[in-house]
Amino acid sequence: MRKTIGLRILELMNLVITDSAKLRLVKFYKALPFALPQIMLHPTFACNYRCSYCSYKHVPVSLMKSKLIYIENKVWIRLFNKFPPSLISISGGEPLMYKDLDKLLLGLSKRHLISQIVTNISANIESLIRAKKAGFRILASFHPEMTSLEVFGRNANILKKEGFNIIVSCVGTDTNLSKGSFYKEYFEKKLKLPFRVDAFVGPDEKCDENIQTNFPVHGKNYILNNDNFNNYDRKKCLGGSKYFLVLPDASVYRCYGGFWRIARNKITAGGIDDSVIGDLKDKDFHVDSSRFICHYPCRSVCDIELADVIRTPGSKSCK
């Protein structure tokens, strides 16, 4: 399938537009009638890091067996033909642990726009270089528990010289935040790379009370208002119609929040959770055509931004 002129324009914009500008423009883009669906793809949960704050450590063992699941890149490409042309963000686990990542990216880019790859850039960065014609940005996740500024910076510079648009991110734990200003100066002044902090979502199973920081996150300070995450009022979103989470076994969820509720069996008493849309491998798989309505809190900034959550007045935060 040949890409439309509109899709190629979006691809070019994705390469050159700054991170902060992209976030300011996303709400206007979503309102356009030709706005593309947003898909968060995790081709693998395998990772070469063992960060102490990793949320996936708290996922039941039965679910994490999907670390061993491997769907060939040709199969993924065929399965993604079930989606209309979409913006795809690829994360994990660590995507660089996925065999033939370059072939997956190049194959998917024939129909879709690869928006970004979220990676710790610690190994196999050659696969990113081989796939750079796919036209993606790199969100390089810096995890100081597992690497040094020098090693991380060296790999970031290699990719920068290859012409990639790179944004450096760091999880907003207390330890990382205490050095946030130092990291920001190092990456932005020494390496000339934009730096941002991502919200830390801790292991608390009651709610996301561990989301904390007054450091700008995704260009905005979501954390000063925890109601963005902990709101239990009815809300409408594009989860399942214009926003999807696809896991390594090809199961499709409406959002990260739904995935974590089911993974931890935290459905409220009497509640019905239809966050699982289905299995992309099923012949009768199809997407919804209307906004999803639920009362569960959002799990991530991505859910809030990309699913275009519309909340009702009067939040009921976790206590």
Does the residue 317 lie in any domain?
A: no
* 319 domain residue, yes or no: no
CATH number, position 252: 3.20.20
Q: How far apart are the C-alpha atoms of 166 and 150, rounded to whole Å?
A: 17
Token representation of residue 32: 């356009």
- Spatial distance between the Cα atoms of 106 and 13, rounded to a whole number of angstroms: 18
Name the residue range of residue 169's domain. 5-311
Say which range, 14-18, 96-100, 180-184, 293-297, has the weakest mean pLDDT: 14-18
Binned at pLDDT 50, 70 and 90, residue 308 comes out as confident
Q: How many structural domains comprise the chain?
A: 1
* Mean pLDDT, residues 120-145 taken together: 95
Per-residue model confidence (pLDDT) at position 304: 81
Q: Is 70 within a domain?
A: yes
Is residue 275, in this structure, part of any structural domain at all? Answer: yes
Is residue 174 assigned to a domain? yes
Average pLDDT value for residue range 217-227: 54
E strand or H helix at 217, and its extent?
none
Query: Helix or strand or coil: residue 89?
Result: strand
User: What sections of the chain are H helices per DSSP?
Assistant: 5-16, 19-30, 61-64, 73-79, 101-108, 126-130, 149-161, 174-178, 180-185, 227-230, 256-263, 301-306
168: CB partners within 8 A, 6+ apart:
140, 142, 156, 187, 191, 193, 194, 195, 196
Is-contact 208 299, C-beta < 8 A?
yes
Q: Is the peptide bond before 6 cis (omega within 30 degrees of 0)?
A: no
pLDDT in tens, 31-86: 665 678 999 999 998 889 999 888 776 665 555 555 568 899 999 999 999 999 99
